[in-house]
Amino acid sequence: MSVVGFDIGNENCVIAVVKQRGIDVLLNDESKRETPAVVSFGEKQRFLGSAGAASATMNPKSTISQVKRLIGRKFKQPDVQDDLRLFPFETSEGPDGGILIHLQYLNEKQTFSPVQILAMLFVHLKQITEKNLEMPISDCVIGIPSYFTDLQRHMYLHATEIAGLKPLRLMHDCTAIALGYGIYKADFSNAGPTYVMFVDIGHCDTQVAVASFEPGHMKILSHAFDWNLGGRDFDEVLFRYFAVQFKEQYKIDVYSNARASIRLRASCEKLKKVLSANPEAPLNIECLMDEKDVKGFIKREDFEKLSADLLERISIPCRKALADCGLSVEKIHTVELVGSGSRIPAITRILATVFRREPRRTINASECVVR
């Protein structure tokens, strides 16, 4: 029986399995390597993964995304409240101080915990895996952020138990990245350890680890993170910018309309990707709200100015990881940059300034954890 790796991201999930010829990333029903971490509840059925993401604009208040941010968190925590303001679904405080999610399903008001939603995702990923392998699976390894508390780890284990999975290990994301890097890179020096820093900028967080490599041996020397700095924060910068612009220009308030907010955020994410490769980019959305077509435009340099406070924070966990392991910048052999939020050119420039060398991208940014 194969051991399966699951990377449950804040935005997307990836599945990998060990086969005779190596490690394969499995395709979902849409033949895509990434499956959205979304559960949407319709009137008569649930839509999970890609189908859930497709239903988000039709059922915004019954579509749950970014559940990873809610696992093991307390409702009244200020940063949790900041997250909940971004979500269109209704929430309340549970009897244990946790988070409860309220939505319409089967023509009734239903209440779910984040663990139940996560378990639904695990079931969906398990079904994708079993369809690919044509055999039942249970043994798995799951990637988790290094900042997860014991409670959050137990919640993950509980969700896998509900889904009928047997996790052999919960592995830190950066540890998994470093392990894969060490396995596939065979030219480490015998003269002494090679120090590599891994910078993983995901959808909602930034994680950094320093690892030492010698032939046949790897050791994680330090971890650091900013659990509130990721690609979605840069999306939100664009969202706020255009929300203000459209209110002035078209007299519409996207904050008051859940469907319009979802569509604008999705467009801002695409715009951010365009700006990563181009100095400027337009934004066009048909019938965003009140049957009004909207148009916008932004230059990369303006986007970087708007994101200046976020960009300044990128180097903080990097410097902390260096300080914690007692190494100087000169000792770091390579800086590997991964994660879905890492493609912004300004981030590369900042890291190049900090480490006095260009960060490398020799690892698959989206699949390195699960592999």
Position 107 scores a pLDDT of: 85
Which of these CATH numbers, 2.60.40.420, 3.40.50.720, 3.40.190.10, 3.30.420.40, describes 4-164?
3.30.420.40
Q: Report pLDDT for 314.
A: 96
Q: What's the pLDDT at 352?
A: 95
Q: What is the pLDDT of residue 89?
A: 94
CB 315 within 8 A of CB 351: yes
Range(s) of the chain covered by CATH 3.90.640.10: 187-362
CA end-to-end distance (rounded Å), the chain: 17
At 212 the pLDDT is: 96
pLDDT digits (tens, 9 = 90+) for 148-201: 999 999 999 999 999 999 999 999 999 999 999 998 887 788 888 999 999 999
| pLDDT of 21 | 74
- Residue ranges, the chain, pLDDT below 50: none
Residues of the chain with CATH 3.30.420.40: 4-164
Written as six digits, the tokens of 1 are 């029986």
What is the C-alpha to C-alpha distance for residues 337 and 199, in angstroms, rounded to an integer?
5
Per-position b or e across 241-276, b if 16+ CB within 10 A of its CB:
bbbebbeeebebebeebbbbbbbbbbbbbebbbebb
CATH code of the domain made up of 187-362: 3.90.640.10
Give the pLDDT of residue 1.
Answer: 63
pTM for this one? 0.94
State how far Cα 155 lies from the chain centre: 18
